[in-house]
Amino acid sequence: MKRETIVHLIKDWRVALLLLLVAGSLIGIYLTPPNPANGLEGNLQFGLDLQGGSWLQMEFQSVVVAYSTDKPVGDLIENLQKSLEVDVVQIDQNHLEIRKSVSRADLEPLFAASDAKIVTYHEGVSTFTADEVKRILNDKVNALGMQDARINLLTPTGSEYPQYVRIELAGVDMATAQEIVGKQGMFEIRIQTSGNETEHVLFGDQITSVGVPQRDTRSQAWGVGFTLSDAGADAFRDAALKYGAIDNPNAHNLVMLLDNKTVYSAPLSGDLAAQLRSAPVRSLSASTGTGDAGLEAAMTLEIHLRAGALPVKVDVVGSGSVPAALGEHFKTTVAIAGLFALLTVGVVIYYRYREPSIVIPMLAINFSEIIILLGIARFIQQLDLAAIAGLIAVVGTGIDQLVIITDEVLHEGRVPSPSLYMKRYSRAFGIIAVSAATVMFAMLPLALMDLSTLRGFAIITILGVLIGILVTRPAYGKIIMEILSK
């Protein structure tokens, strides 16, 4: 094409938008932030399949029971809690969540003793509890900077109650994965009384907010600030008064435990002791020391403070890992497969048209579509084998739609007039739009469901269809019109 034609095309908003998105995608992949160590991979997020890592599948130790009774439900809940020594939560008017793995046969006499009857019995937890567990686990892994973690709730067929939670951690070994998410995380604060003896003050559910690690400008020590509820602040002050921590703070350490393991221990500061003498204090700060060690300790303590206790116990029932070397092999194989798919498409359409001025724009548009798709996925979706399959599917469907446009605007191999061209292009675009809508509606349920093996495929496919309809197809229509008119 002549220089004037190229300038005219670039000034068209459809082509300009395409170029802008391609440039923005390349910037997002390689320059924000720059990551030269990854080479051609840039900042793309790869999943467990392509990077190696570990997965854990954990089962909720809980059951959901539908019941019927003529007596107050509060009495039934109280009797169950005393008998089972576990939390029992009323989900709705007819369902209870018993946060312990207990059989129906063991429950029936307990219900009968309270003049109640079990109507239905399901292993698992309520949707609310499952979402709360997912949120807490998500906070844990995100606080460690593991943005490639995926957490999915799994519900057995025929049940409406999630029974398992599956966690995938790319680039993390099995021991670390189990350390991060395989434990329940029962958080407790205790106060030293005398010697090595301590007394309970409060549990993690009394912590309402947690700050980020910050360094004190005077002492240069790192610390984490956190806020207690009113009840927690009262309990903290009562314990400090009762055991003499206000009068002699250096002799009474504040001890924080996770699963009965000490994660922090330090005496009350003099300023805090003076404040507690007159009133409860809700805003506290735990100092962890100076330097890199203090910062690392502060970051770890922040995770424990934020996570608190899971609302229900979980047991690891399945696990697995993909070695990093195998992940690299998969990554290489996928890259070859994608390149082969693009070349095969190029050969097929060249055989059909035998005209480089048509084939080259087709391949360029298809390639730019993949770049834009990767640029968007870099922020919202990690690339696993299913997502890569979606990318390859987008290559095929994209070329199909470009062929529809090209065949429609060409009539018996001749170039139509501009008015006839626009009429035929509009008709071709209408066909493509209906096809794209069908694909999106078909993929939408998979994209919304927590199916780790299919969700990435559906999201990438939907994004590819949207990019094609909104950006690349209109740009191709303008480019091919200019080419054919010459």
Question: What pLDDT score does 38 carry?
Answer: 66
Would you report the helix, strand and coil content of the chain in percent, each value rounded to 5?
Answer: 55, 20, 25
Residue 182 lies in a domain: no
The Cα–Cα gap between 486 and 480 comes to: 10
Rounded Cα distance, 404 and 424, in Å: 10
Q: Is residue 157 part of a domain?
A: no
- On whether residue 109 sits in a domain, the answer given is yes
Q: Are residues 241 and 104 in the same domain?
A: no
* Digit-coded pLDDT (tens) for 373-406: 999 988 887 788 888 888 888 888 888 888 888 8
Report yes or no on 133 lying in a domain.
Answer: no
Both tokens of 271, joined, read 């300023």
Instruction: Using 50 as the pLDDT threshold, list the residues of the chain that sit under it.
Output: 184
Looking at the fold, whether 214 and 361 belong to one and the same domain comes out as no
Contact of 56 with 452, CB cutoff 8 Å: no
- CATH number for the domain spanning 437: value is 1.20.1640.10
**pLDDT for the residue 62:** 92
Res 423: pLDDT = 84
- Six-digit token string for 298: 């502060």
The partner residues of 31 in beta bridges, in order of sequence, read 34
73 and 108 inside one domain: yes
Residues 339 and 248 in one domain: no
Residue 405 lies in a domain: yes
- Domain match, 333 and 480 both: yes
Query: Are 192 and 257 within one domain?
Result: yes
Residues 123 and 94 in one domain: yes
* Boundary residue ending a domain (274, 309, 344): 309
Residue 333 structure tokens: 């194989």
Last residue within a domain, chosen from 309, 336, 368: 309
CA separation, residue 269 to residues 34, 247, 281 (Å): 43, 11, 13
Report the alpha-carbon distance of residue 178 to residue 55 in Å, rounded: 9
394 within domain boundaries: yes
Are 480 and 343 found together in one domain?
Answer: yes
Which amino acid makes up residue 251? A
Handedness of CA 65, 167, 337, 465 (dihedral sign): positive
pLDDT of residue 466: 92
Tell me, yes or no, whether 118 and 239 share the same domain. no
Q: Give residues with Cβ within 8 angstroms of 342, minimum separation 6.
A: 363, 366, 367, 395
- Domain extent, residue 287, equals 187-309
Number of domains present in the structure of the chain: 3
| Residue ending a domain, choose from 110, 128, 146 | 128
Residues 417 and 297 in one domain: no
Residue 102 sits in the same domain as residue 208: no
Q: Does residue 66 contact residue 117 with C-beta atoms inside 8 Å?
A: no
In a domain, 146, yes or no: no
Within-domain flag for 163: no
The CATH code of the domain that includes 100 is 3.30.70.100
In sequence order, the 6+-apart residues with CB closer than 8 A to the CB of 354 are none
In this structure, the answer to whether residues 201 and 328 fall within a common structural domain is: no
